[in-house]
Structure 1
Amino acid sequence: MTPFARNRLAACVVLACSSSYSYAAQTNDYNEIEEVVAVASPIKDSQKAAIMAKQSASNFVDIVAADTIGRFPDQNLADSLGRVPGLAIERDQGQARYINFRGAPFRYTTIAIDGITIPGAENGRIPRFDSFPSVITSRLSANKAIMPDMPGESIAGFINIETFNPFDVEGFSLATDVGLGNQALGDGDISKFSVRTSWSGENVGISLFASQNSREQITDNREFDLEQVDSELVVNELDMRSYKVKREDEAYGGRFEYRPSDSMNRFFFSTLYSKFQDHEERNQYVFDFAGGAEAAGSNLAAGETGTGLAMVSRSLEYGLYENSTWTNTLGADLQLGDWFLEARTNFTKTENDVFLPLPYSLYGAAVASYDVSDINDPLVTLAPGTSLNDIDYGYEMLLVYGSALSIDSVQFKLDAETDFAFAGLNNTFKMGLGHDQREAQGYGTNGGMASLYGINPSDYVTDQAWHTDFTNSINGTYYDNKQLRADLESASGGLTVTPDNASKINIDENITTAYAMVTNQFKWGSLVSGVRIESTDYTSSGPEGEHSDTFTEVLPSVNLNVDLSDQVKFRAAFSTGMSRPTYNEWRASASIDTTEQTISGGNPFLEAESSYGADMSLEWYAGDASLVAVGAFYRHIDDVIYADTTYVDAGNYISEFAGEQWKYTGFVNGDEGHFQGIELNFIGQASDFISESWDGFGFSANLTLLDSEFTTLSGSSFSLPGTSDMIFNSSVYYENDLFSARLNYQYRDDWLSTTENDSMGEYWAAQTRLDLSLSYTLAEPVYGSDVSFYANINNLTDEIDVRYIGTEATPNQIERYGRRYMAGVRINF
């Protein structure tokens, strides 16, 4: 470690242990925690500062420091947060995207950037973490017990992402990270690049950063329509897919800060733009054996193997999913007499767009056999002398799907804090006001049909066989989807989605907040108590009119911290919260899919969910960088929001389909629910438990046991979406001054899917991940810069993802994407 790094670490330790109210201590509690762990290095020192910050915190919180993020083989912030006790990851095509905080639905977690709450780009509430690369982040805090100065929507937790502050480093600094890699399945290219530079003087600090990441991969997908009849498996349909995916994210931003001399004041402006793009090519064949048996006038026989007529459809796609967040904050921190004030003005814009043009061929037929005796490698084999290219399709058309949502948010915040003495005790009073004005406009998923403008998709087939870890029993080859898309664009004069009025989203929302809290300092610990009030005024407009409502939630909370000894701390907390419906759920409109004959609609009359609960923990700070902790928590939820499915007359929406019964999925408030659990956390340096000769070796593990349930309007009970019964993370590592090696293991068992489910009943099977990271730092600086080389391997054991309906005996999706390798260099000046 350089002398400079040692000095910065020492400053961190001093801040963490100090009981006086310095500049950092006069910010929000979660910001105070963040400040003291920002610059720790390397792994042991990073853990040491984070543990000390956790010990001095006024609430239940776990810290992920910047150096820890950099030394894990993480692709984005979801990966980084997935190592915190009680947090689990939900992936999309192998890439971490969402966080289940304590096994709760995504909506129960609030995300903030530099203390400013950010709307979820997809639907206003749910944060996606794959659009925020970990390299731009200075520090993360995962708050589990909420205090009055934190958002009331944080039923499960509140995650604050803080970006780099130029005053963290004196003078000029430059940090870069360049990496190249390979996705094993499909031999896809991976690249990452980031740069951050800063300068700070006595009064002025400036920082700029940029990040770009790209990942090409093959996603190997098999989907099923299976059922059990009299304990025998019936194979209705097999869906063979291969995706070519290119995912890119980029982020840019900076900060200008001015600190007057001889003052605790500061004035700053910060900006961050982050964008995520998912370019997706789909090659898909569906073999409908049930439909073939019906067409042949026969019955589909039960069994894992069989032969018969299959109705065949083909889908080819080159589409785009993208979302972006642009957030700008103007702030001032002022010491006015005995009061310390924080004022913030923020403008945030999020955008989410999906555009999927899909040439669709149907009414093909072929004699084929199937074999699902090995469900992880399902087979479809065409009759001898038949190939996929021989299949004639009775009808071909162009489907164009799309959706869009844009959210503008303008926020104002004012927090004020002062110290006072009462009954011989040192106390702090804090209060604040805030207003968040949001406008959301867009439309739900729309599907349109058109001709193929004389273009024959079969002309675009290539001789390149599918990249697959399954058996390519159908001898699938790729199409030139990009050229097919380009020719369709040219022939049509431009492919577009014209949303119908029934699907439009138009929501205005105003959230006004106020809180007051008191922190009482005792010789044996502290007590933080207070109340938060949130008033919501919203209007949801749609084709049938508009609905407006106003409601107010009063949210008290108490956090007790008891120092049983210098090394042992007991915590207890009571908190309340609420969760507003997403904009997709609150919209006064519906999306109609005439191809699938389905309708999905919003419900502007939905009520917000409300909660109350408690947390307890016992923490033993066993050494400089070691921790043993056990905790328990409980949350009671009223008016649980869930998706409910029924059948309706399609003529209510499109007159020409009158009399037809289509599946309708909408959102309703159910009955009460709960989630609860026990958390065990161990972080151990071998030198703290064995002897100094083991310095450099370390081990960490955390185990969370969870239970949840809610009741639907029909009286049925389900676990809350996203709740696994068990979440386990562990890490073993060795490091010295120059070299570090870390092996990371993650496991979570089955959970009810939070996304892509029409209603209740779709589950993810248990998932395991094993990752390895290696790093070596040159002994001598190069032109004054510290240089380190690293290598990461993700998904070492080549795991697959499985989803199922009701029981694992009837999976509906199996997905493979292979291992991921990356090597690179980091330079810090």
Structure 2
Amino acid sequence: MFRNLFLAASVVCINVVLPAHAEDSVWLDLKPDLLSDQLLEIAKIYDVDVVFRNKDTAHKTNGYVVGQFTTQEALEAALSGSQLRFHQDKLGSYIIEAISIDSKENSAPRLPSEILANKGNDQSSAIALTGLDPLVLDTVLLKGSMLSNIRSLKNKRLSDTITESVFSDELGQIPSNNIGESINRLPGVSMLVEKGEGRYFQIRGINPTLNNITLNGTNIGSPETESGGRQAPLDMIASGVVDGVVIRKVRTPDMDGQGIGGTLDVETKSPFDRSSHFDGQVSAKYGFEEISALENSYGGSDPFALETTLSAKSRDQKWGMLLSGAMSEREYVASGIYQDDWSQITSETGDQTGAIPNLIKNNYYVIGRKRRNLNSVLEYRPNDTNRFYATTFWARWEEFQHRNRYEEVLGQELSFTTPTTGEVENVAANLNLRLEEPKKTIFSIAGGGEHHLDNLVLSYKLNSNQNQISEPNVFWKFATDPILGPESFIIDAKGIVHLTPQEEALDRQSPTYFKLETLDRLESEMKETSSSFRGDLEWFSSANTSLKTGIKYRSTHRERDFSEPVYLSGISQLNLATSSNFTHSAFENCNKSLCAPNILLDINALEAFYADTSNSLYFQLDEEGEFQAEFSSDYMVEEDVFALYLMGKKAISFVDIIAGLRIESTQVETSGYLLSDGAAKLIKQNDNYTNWLPSLIATWNLHHNLLVRTSVSRAIGRPDYTDIAPRSYLYENEAGEVLQIGNPDLSARVSWNYDASFEWYPNDLSLLYVNVFHKDISDDIVEVSQTIAGEDNIRSELNVRGLDIISDAQISGLDNLQIQSFINAGSSRLTGIELGLNTRLDSVLPSLFRGFSIAANATILDGETIIDGQSFPLLNQADHTYALSFLYQNKKTDASISYAYNDSYLTRFDHDNPNDNLSQGEFGRWDAKLSYTFNDGVKLFLEGVNLNNEPTTEFQGSRESWNTEHEYVGRTVYLGLSYGF
């Protein structure tokens, strides 16, 4: 027995042999499944050829098909209501094709009960609900979270490689606010939480900048500037415009080479996802935050979200259009404690020691976020063999971060009475107010086509992206002299320092003592434009053999303009008592850890004071830092990538093999500024490199429900834009002249990836799997400092780097020049195992409790970085992550509760001073959702986010008691209503 199933929107041919006869009537009992899987089973049982296009069947779900059937009756039952029909060709093969609207056969869709007469058996009636209609499982309507779960299982089973995915339910909804939080429960995938929301993703512990993110298979770039600029923020994309998210952990040769961890593809909705001519969905929800904003503070509105989708197809099923949109707003409070620079202190008497931070800060953070998404699709299918499409996607993100921070600087005049208690004299305080208002935009437009020409499939796609971020940032800093105190302190078990002023201490919340220290007025603009073209041609030489080749060209232009003038205190001294409008009130900033002193400042009053020209004497521009403020962060990068690949697929007995090679050539041109002779000089450099990326993948179909996958592949991780940009300046320190510069000569990291997986599908609603993998990464990028001795050597090195703008006069007389930059020097190794279980519990629970399911997974990682023969920990990698979800669905009720956890991990490693290491603390969050569906398609739902009010934490020196961050955002609850038609 063997099967041949070829995917990727191509012709699928199934030819199997089992001991049955085509004309015989056979009893069928097909469980809920993808339509493609049910057609496969029918082909097996009746010993026939069934030919269909995967694009028509891959995401269509089907209910039970039960009864005594001939071949044609079985196909009629499976295809009922699907807008598909069949006919036999001259060779007797059954060809599945779309029904023409003008055909008499389509005048009135037949109900399942009309397909078959009762054969005299009590179990002979057929049930076949197709498309995206709810599946029937006994008396349980399969929809909501269960339908989403089944679509993910089927996608994993039918994939060519190791994949994970999240798909929408029958109303087009994904069970989270944004796609970043949805994938956080997938095995081997973890989100980096930013102020209570998932933003960047890791795959198998790999840094987000080394993964690849695509939109409908096409690069979308990134509007970000932080962390090098290659990581795309997933919290910009609302779940309401998305049909699914697929993470491919093993790359095939027709995929981009970028993605050492893997590739995340966001699949937006399409008009041909459903069989009806016109349908839509609308959803609205309103939320409540546990931590409400203070009176007179900045922001504080309750959250809400709106989502809608409209889809239509022409009567002849040739044209399809879809428009989906989403908007949401949320304003919430993040209250946090931050304690920097822990160290061991010995009392002046020398008889008692203890550890205490030098700086204790508390934040009153108000965050506001607005998301806007629009997705449109226009598709034309003139016949079964041709398809043309055009898509647009637009995302807009607006945010404000209003941070009111109070800091106490303890200094060295302190004494311990016990290791966790003591007193401190002469405390200084800082009061900072920062208002950051970034605005980010993603705009992507694409068009392409697909054509089936006998045994050839030709596809092509043209894409253009425009990404932008604007980051205005105002930062007021006030400070006191070290006149506060004395204060006593107690360090609790969590490492939180509680400070209590003694009776004679000055009022630490009096505005009079806080004088203006600096005023930073940052403006940052980044624009990224890119375009790409890809073309693919696949040739099917037989039912079990194909050859595919293609090309791709991508060009990216990225430019950043950064300005940060700094103002110092002027001739006139400004303090917080200069105007009573500067402050609202003193208050206690309280959370689960402690209550700390703070003063609520008024940003509008401060900004109005600065704007008044009559107050100019209070401010003086820091001219010495002009280059640093105006030029050091400016850069331009042009990156062109040309790719060519060849790959083949071959089914040999029960083994499906994919083998091929991808070649990617990368050309980079960069420019930035160097400070020379007191002036900013523009420098330009370029580089190129080529990567050869082979892949070999084998899928072993050991049984109809047992798969083993093995693969060897090669992937790359390109350097960050900020690392290859020659942003530089020349300065002098106590050791001599220092040149700081980026390195445009950096090449991509290269990783050999070895994967093996075991997947057991005991039934259509269950999966047990084990994935084992190893990554061997070479040409890792490390920061280095190099000293060049002698004038001739200095001149030669600068010429090699293209830095001939440094004059001979500057070089003359130099004994040495220190160059600080990045190079390809290190290597990393990462080994891991992923375990997972996904099953419905009906077989082990009493009938009263039918409808319960469980999904659980765990990932264990072990990695290291090797530089000059020394081993260092792999940064930003949690060694253990796991997720657990309980689901219940029965008739009209759908409920789920989920928990996602990652343990602590290093974020900064100092080999010489291990006490300065920083680690992100463990994080585990509970979320839940409950919904009830009424008969008219209306769904009422209740969502709870961060039900356990889990804080984000950080600690120093590998000691959890040296706590450097403890921040809470509280619980959020949403009440919503959805309607599908």
Same fold (TM over 0.5): yes
- Structure 1 residues 300 and 584, CA gap change in structure 2 (3 angstroms): farther
1:797 and 2:797 aligned: no
The worse-fitting range, judged by mean Cα deviation, of 497-506 and 143-152 is 497-506
1:120 and 2:222 aligned: yes
Structure-1 separation of matches of 2:920 and 2:217: 33
Provide the aligned length of Structure 1 versus Structure 2.
791
1:235-274 pair list within 5 angstroms: 235-260=357-382, 262-274=383-395
Say which of 517, 527, 533 aligns to 1:406: 527
- Structure 1 residues 31 and 697, CA gap change in structure 2 (3 angstroms): closer
Aligned-residue offset at 1:490: 5.7
AA paired with 1:373? D
1:722 and 2:844 aligned: no
- Structure 1 residues 403 and 391, CA gap change in structure 2 (3 angstroms): same
Aligned-residue offset at 1:416: 1.1
Structure-2 separation of matches of 1:223 and 1:592: 34
Any gaps of 5 or more consecutive residues in structure 2?
Answer: 1-29, 44-48, 62-81, 83-129, 135-142, 294-299, 347-352, 675-682, 733-737, 789-805, 811-817
1:512 and 2:512 aligned: no
3-state secondary structure, aligned to 2:536? strand
Counterpart of 1:641 in structure 2 is 781
Aligned-residue offset at 1:463: 2.8
Structure-2 separation of matches of 1:591 and 1:77: 41
1:208 and 2:323 aligned: yes
The worse-fitting range, judged by mean Cα deviation, of 40-49 and 168-177 is 40-49
What CA deviation, in whole Å up to 9, does each residue of 1:303-329 have, x standing for no partner? 533221112221112221232211110
Counterpart of 2:859 in structure 1 is 704
Structure-2 separation of matches of 1:572 and 1:358: 53
1:388 and 2:490 aligned: no
Counterpart of 1:173 in structure 2 is 279
Counterpart of 1:560 in structure 2 is 698
Structure-2 separation of matches of 1:7 and 1:787: 27
The higher radius of gyration belongs to 2
The worse-fitting range, judged by mean Cα deviation, of 16-25 and 677-686 is 16-25
- Structure 1 residues 700 and 457, CA gap change in structure 2 (3 angstroms): same
The worse-fitting range, judged by mean Cα deviation, of 808-817 and 740-749 is 808-817
1:190 and 2:303 aligned: yes
1:129 and 2:234 aligned: yes
- Structure 1 residues 235 and 338, CA gap change in structure 2 (3 angstroms): closer
Counterpart of 1:155 in structure 2 is 260
- Structure 1 residues 532 and 209, CA gap change in structure 2 (3 angstroms): same
AA paired with 1:561? T
Contact 1:246 1:278 in 2 (8 A): yes
Aligned-residue offset at 1:183: 1.7
Counterpart of 1:658 in structure 2 is none
1:826 and 2:978 aligned: yes
- Structure 1 residues 682 and 643, CA gap change in structure 2 (3 angstroms): farther
AA paired with 1:776? Y
Contact 2:398 2:438 in 1 (8 A): yes
What CA deviation, in whole Å up to 9, does each residue of 1:380-425 have, x standing for no partner? 334446141255235433112343321110101111112113xxx6
1:682 and 2:837 aligned: yes
AA paired with 1:339? L
- Structure 1 residues 454 and 386, CA gap change in structure 2 (3 angstroms): closer
Structure-2 separation of matches of 1:666 and 1:795: 41
- Structure 1 residues 358 and 345, CA gap change in structure 2 (3 angstroms): same
- Structure 1 residues 584 and 361, CA gap change in structure 2 (3 angstroms): same
Higher RCO (CA 8 Å, separation ≥ 6 residues) = 1
Aligned-residue offset at 1:456: 5.3
AA paired with 2:358? N
AA paired with 2:606? L
AA paired with 1:24? N
Aligned-residue offset at 1:232: 2.7
Structure-2 separation of matches of 1:244 and 1:256: 41
The worse-fitting range, judged by mean Cα deviation, of 479-488 and 580-589 is 479-488
Counterpart of 1:3 in structure 2 is none
3-state secondary structure, aligned to 1:722? coil
Counterpart of 1:659 in structure 2 is none
Structure-2 separation of matches of 1:176 and 1:309: 61
3-state secondary structure, aligned to 2:703? coil
Aligned-residue offset at 1:161: 0.6
Say which of 171, 177, 184 aligns to 1:82: 184
- Structure 1 residues 536 and 557, CA gap change in structure 2 (3 angstroms): same
Structure-2 separation of matches of 1:258 and 1:156: 36
Aligned-residue offset at 1:171: 1.3
Aligned-residue offset at 1:644: 6.2
1:364-763 pair list within 5 angstroms: 364-365=481-482, 366-369=484-487, 370-375=489-494, 377-384=496-503, 386-421=507-542, 426-443=544-561, 446=564, 448-449=566-567, 457-458=576-577, 459=580, 460-463=582-585, 465=587, 468-470=590-592, 473-489=595-611, 491=613, 500-544=630-674, 545-590=683-728, 602-642=742-782, 667-688=822-843, 694-713=849-868, 716-753=870-907, 761-763=917-919
Contact 1:323 1:353 in 2 (8 A): yes
- Structure 1 residues 401 and 590, CA gap change in structure 2 (3 angstroms): farther
What CA deviation, in whole Å up to 9, does each residue of 1:476-526 have, x standing for no partner? 242222443355356599999996233211111100011111110233130
3-state secondary structure, aligned to 2:632? helix
3-state secondary structure, aligned to 2:258? coil
Any gaps of 5 or more consecutive residues in structure 1?
Answer: 1-5, 656-662
Aligned-residue offset at 1:9: 7.2
Name the Cα RMSD after superposition: 3.8
Structure-1 separation of matches of 2:585 and 2:972: 26
Counterpart of 1:309 in structure 2 is 426
Aligned-residue offset at 1:45: 3.3
Counterpart of 1:222 in structure 2 is 337
3-state secondary structure, aligned to 2:826? coil
Aligned-residue offset at 1:26: 10
3-state secondary structure, aligned to 2:950? coil
Contact 2:858 2:881 in 1 (8 A): yes
- Structure 1 residues 530 and 511, CA gap change in structure 2 (3 angstroms): same
Counterpart of 2:436 in structure 1 is 319
Counterpart of 2:464 in structure 1 is 347
- Structure 1 residues 601 and 467, CA gap change in structure 2 (3 angstroms): farther
Aligned-residue offset at 1:602: 3.2
AA paired with 2:258? E
What CA deviation, in whole Å up to 9, does each residue of 1:53-90 have, x standing for no partner? 32222111112111299777522111111111111111
1:813 and 2:965 aligned: yes
Structure-2 separation of matches of 1:46 and 1:787: 18
- Structure 1 residues 664 and 467, CA gap change in structure 2 (3 angstroms): farther
Counterpart of 2:401 in structure 1 is 280
Percent of aligned pairs sharing the same letter: 22
Structure-2 separation of matches of 1:64 and 1:275: 23
Structure-2 separation of matches of 1:219 and 1:664: 41
Contact 2:495 2:963 in 1 (8 A): no
Aligned-residue offset at 1:22: 4.0
Structure-1 separation of matches of 2:432 and 2:231: 30
Structure-1 separation of matches of 2:691 and 2:908: 26
Aligned-residue offset at 1:616: 0.5
Counterpart of 2:269 in structure 1 is 164
Structure-2 separation of matches of 1:147 and 1:507: 28
Contact 2:882 2:900 in 1 (8 A): yes
3-state secondary structure, aligned to 1:259? strand
Structure-2 separation of matches of 1:581 and 1:670: 13
1:24 and 2:130 aligned: no
What CA deviation, in whole Å up to 9, does each residue of 1:327-385 have, x standing for no partner? 11011112334321111111101112322111111243311423333446432334446
- Structure 1 residues 252 and 555, CA gap change in structure 2 (3 angstroms): same
- Structure 1 residues 209 and 68, CA gap change in structure 2 (3 angstroms): closer
What CA deviation, in whole Å up to 9, does each residue of 1:519-560 have, x standing for no partner? 102331300111111100001112242221111000000110
